[in-house]
């Protein structure tokens, strides 16, 4: 499975897709990037005259790269977007620096465990100056969609 194919398999689209590229991936870690565009919907009204990216969006970006993309890769071809869903089950994040419109971030996730379709990862986000923006733990799972 190639890097671009993984992104295409994600169950997200704009304006809620926060993955531009997967830089590297193997069975132990993933590294991906996203650039927050100037006109993202969540900047309207989030700190008048000084928009910053909400922490929940940073968490979502880390989960999409570090849990969803990584999980699809680890399933080794067993992922079927029509039949499977992805859900974040928990997160514990610490934030250190704001992320502004037009900033590119890099997310690195390291697998803690992956079994029974459950994935837990340590995640870290860095800005374009390689300064730590946020770090924490994300966990998630895949599930069979209800056919009804």
DSSP labels, 98-127: ---TT-EEEEEEEEEEEETTEEEEEEEEE-
| pLDDT at residue 122 greater than cutoff 90 | yes
The model's pLDDT over 41-88, given as tens digits with 9 standing for 90+, comes to 999 887 888 899 999 999 999 999 999 999 999 988 776 666 777 888
Q: Which domains does the chain have, with CATH numbers?
A: 3-144 (3.10.129.10)
What is the SS3 assignment for 62-88? HHHHHHHHHHHHHCCCCCCCCCEEEEE
Look up 29 and say whether it is catalytic: no
Query: End-to-end alpha-carbon separation of the chain, Å?
Result: 30
Q: Report whether 62 contacts 138 (CB < 8 A).
A: yes
Global pTM reads: 0.92
List the catalytic residue out of 3, 46, 97, 122: 46
Residue 137 tokens read as: 């733990």
The whole-number average pLDDT for the span 27-38 is: 97
- Give SS3 for 141: strand
């Amino acid at each position: 499975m190639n890097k671009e194919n993984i992104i295409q398999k994600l169950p997200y689209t704009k304006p809620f897709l926060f993955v531009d590229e997967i830089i590297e991936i193997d069975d132990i870690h993933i590294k991906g990037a996203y650039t927050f565009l100037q006109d993202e919907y969540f900047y309207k009204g989030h700190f008048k005259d000084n928009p910053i990216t909400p922490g929940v969006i940073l968490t979502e970006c880390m989960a999409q790269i570090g849990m969803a993309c990584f999980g699809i890769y680890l399933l080794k071809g067993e992922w079927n977007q029509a039949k499977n869903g992805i859900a974040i089950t928990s997160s514990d994040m610490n934030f250190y620096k704001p992320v502004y419109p037009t900033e590119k971030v890099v997310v690195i996730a390291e697998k803690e465990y992956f079994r029974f379709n459950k994935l837990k990862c340590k995640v870290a986000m860095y800005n374009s100056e390689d300064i730590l923006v946020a770090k924490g733990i994300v966990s998630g799972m895949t599930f069979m969609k209800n056919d009804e």
